[in-house]
Amino acid sequence: MKKGIELNQEFYNKVASLYKDEFDHIKYTKEDLDQHRVFEEYLIRHFYMSCLMRDWTLESKPERDNNYGNVLKEVKKYFNYDDKNLMKNKNFKALVPGTGCSRMTFELANRGFEVEANDFCFIYILTVDYLFNYSHKNEFQFCPSIHSFAHSYTESAVVKKYSFPDIDIRQELEKNEAKPITFIKGDFLLKYKGIKDKFDLIVTLFFIDVSKNIIEYVEIMHDLLKKGGVWVNLGCLDYFHSRYHNSIDLTWDELRQVIKNYDFEIKNEVTDFVPYGVKVGSMVSDSYGTVFFTAMKK
Ligand SMILES: C[S@@+](CC[C@H](N)C(=O)[O-])C[C@H]1O[C@@H](n2cnc3c(N)ncnc32)[C@H](O)[C@@H]1O
């Protein structure tokens, strides 16, 4: 257990060491630090580890092939990314809000899109900066399940180590002559509200329900897209905020109507359970009922 926790810490230290100077001048109170610690422990245990596992380990390839594979197939219907000349000449701009550990951002950049990705959480932004700019294939090992013995058949599953990233990210991007990727740190609402007609494609994965007002998110997506631009979404309607704050929690039927009212044409709609953050050797299987839709700005 101790070795596993230290292994995880080695990775955090390596990432943090690169950015230490940028944060050293900030003076936190003890209360701030306690609050951050509680939040980050929660974030790391429940979301971050499974995000890293899902996006950058070989073991999660089946989950990626299913979820991201379907999204990329859908994207290809509108942007034939196999046509390298088309992608070079057209310079399609894609946005990935709530990019997390950013595999989808990588996949789109690798296919010739000029990608902008956004997240408001430092731990994701710094991790991704490290992975995309400095890491090499299988540079790290980590123990994503070390924080909980619940729902485990075996101890070996809890302490199991995984290597990541499963590919050399920089080499792959260079090989495919990917355009530069821009990572924007900050709240989606603050960073993107009011920007118009900028993107050809927006991909949201398990993101739209982080909003407190999902109607506002639909409006922003509509503004951000160029006419004829496409928004592909895969994710659940968990409405995280409704546990703690007021939040507008629409059913899919209601949300679909809102999307149509904003002058989108729904081109594709699939409601299905998909695997999400599946843990090998766990007694519970994480899968979510999701909506997978494509909406085109008229
Ligand atoms: C459930 S995770 C999904 C991550 C990634 N899209 C995936 O499927 O692996 C939601 C992501 O959205 C980010 N996020 C939540 N609220 C946000 C906001 N208001 N602005 C920007 N990012 C946000 C979180 O930090 C997290 O990375």
Q: Is the pLDDT of residue 25 over 80?
A: no
Q: Is the pLDDT of residue 107 over 90?
A: yes
CA of 97 to the centre of ligand 1 (A): 7
The confidence score (pLDDT) of residue 150 equals 87
**Full residue range of the structural domain in which residue 117 is found:** 2-297
The confidence score (pLDDT) of residue 245 equals 82
Of the pLDDT bands very low, low, confident and very high (cuts 50, 70, 90), residue 284 is confident
Over its C-alpha atoms, the chain yields an Rg (Å, rounded) of 19
Domain count across the chain: 1
* Segments of the chain assigned E as strands: 93-97, 114-119, 140-142, 162-164, 182-185, 199-205, 225-235, 264-275, 287-297
> What tens digit of pLDDT does each residue of 182-212 get?
999 999 999 999 999 999 999 999 999 999 9
Low-confidence winner among 46-50, 103-107, 165-169 (lowest mean pLDDT): 46-50
Q: What is the mean pLDDT of residues 246-261?
A: 96
> What tens digit of pLDDT does each residue of 264-278 get?
999 999 999 998 877
Q: How far apart are CA 9 and CA 16, in angstroms?
A: 10
CA of 86 to the centre of ligand 1 (A): 31
Q: Is the pLDDT of residue 35 over 90?
A: no
Query: What's the mean per-residue pLDDT of the chain?
Result: 93
* Token pair listed for 119: 């997240």
Q: What is the mean pLDDT of residues 46-50?
A: 84
Cα–Cα nearest to 51, from 114, 105, 110, 93: 105
What is the percentage of the chain residues whose pLDDT exceeds 90?
A: 76
The confidence score (pLDDT) of residue 128 equals 95
CA of 89 to the centre of ligand 1 (A): 31
CA of 252 to the centre of ligand 1 (A): 20
Q: How far apart are CA 238 and CA 207, in angstroms?
A: 10
Q: Select from 70, 106, 121, 208 the residue to mutate for testing ligand 1; criterion: most ligand atoms less than 8 Å from CB.
A: 121
> What tens digit of pLDDT does each residue of 205-216 get?
999 999 999 999
Burial level of 27, CB count in 10 A (0-12/13-18/19+)? exposed
The confidence score (pLDDT) of residue 23 equals 72
Strands in 264-275's sheet, in edge-to-edge order, are 182-185, 114-119, 93-97, 199-205, 225-235, 287-297, 264-275
Q: Are strands 162-164 and 140-142 parallel, antiparallel or unpaired?
A: antiparallel
- Looking at per-residue pLDDT, the higher value among 24 and 275 belongs to 275
Q: Select from 95, 126, 131, 210 the residue to mutate for testing ligand 1; criterion: most ligand atoms less than 8 Å from CB.
A: 210
The confidence score (pLDDT) of residue 186 equals 92
CA of 176 to the centre of ligand 1 (A): 27
The CATH number given to whatever domain includes residue 239 is 3.40.50.150
Contact 240, 211 (CB under 8 A): no
Q: Ligand 1: which residue has its CA nearest to atom 13?
A: 98
Q: Is the peptide bond before 165 cis (omega within 30 degrees of 0)?
A: yes
Return the residue matching tokens 């109607």.
Answer: 215
Q: What is the mean pLDDT of residues 237-264?
A: 93
The confidence score (pLDDT) of residue 148 equals 82
Q: Is the pLDDT of residue 46 over 80?
A: no
- Looking at per-residue pLDDT, the higher value among 273 and 34 belongs to 273
Q: Is the pLDDT of residue 279 over 80?
A: no
Cα–Cα nearest to 238, from 276, 289, 171: 289
Q: Is the pLDDT of residue 257 over 90?
A: yes
